[in-house]
Amino acid sequence: MQDGVRVVFRTGTEYGPANTLLRDLRKHVLREAGLRPNEVDWDQKKLEGAFDRKLVDREGFKIPWKLPLIWGVTVGLMLLLELLVRKTRVGRAMRAVSLDQNTAALMGVSVNGIIRLTFVIGSVMAAVGGMLYALYLGGEVVFNMGTQVGIIAFSAAVLGGIGNIRGAALGGLLLGMTMQLSTGLLLPFLGVEAVYGPAAAFLVLMTVILVKPTGLLGSTSVERA
């Protein structure tokens, strides 16, 4: 098992972050599409609890308690991750490995150790994100609920700039606002079905990538001899 995991880490970091993300996303979608109905439980599971309680409940103005919680946890984790990457030795090692693994190794950085740590941090963030998404849905959980969200998250990272935490947050906000505004206002005004809302968001993504291929806050790294 350890050898297998080591192979995944090594082969997954040879082609750059964008290609690695795209490859893993493709593998996930293909694996899910190949599942047979008898291999998984397709039924939704309802987590009972106070998911629909209101923090503010006045006539015409209601705020579920889960929304401030989701925002607070999301912003808090994003700030902690930004501080980790920018202000700590581990974060500097992560950035060094992402730029040039060979040079980082020559400087005494444990490349494989940093890669494993990055995978652990990413897995923890994904787990917290899944719990918050289930909370947002009111406790309704199904095994493939994260597929569409994962595709949108990857698109947000590309839109904001791969490897930029603030860029990913900005890309997520822009995609979310575009999808909501197009679904609720623009498409009904044009007489188009609201189901095409995500298409408007991906149109924005393609436009930005054509104008600025590195993303909104992304930058082109310069290699020095």
State phi, psi for 58 to the nearest 5 degrees. -120, 160
Is the separation of the CB atoms in 166 and 157 below 8 Å?
no
Specify the pLDDT at position 138.
76
- Band of residue 224 on the pLDDT scale cut at 50, 70, 90: very low
pLDDT digits (tens, 9 = 90+) for 67-92: 888 899 999 999 999 999 999 999 99
Q: What is the pTM of this model?
A: 0.71
- Band of residue 106 on the pLDDT scale cut at 50, 70, 90: very high
- Any idea where the domains of the chain sit in the sequence? 145-217
pLDDT digits (tens, 9 = 90+) for 151-175: 888 888 888 888 788 888 899 888 8
Q: What is the pairing mode between strands 45-46 and 61-64?
A: unpaired
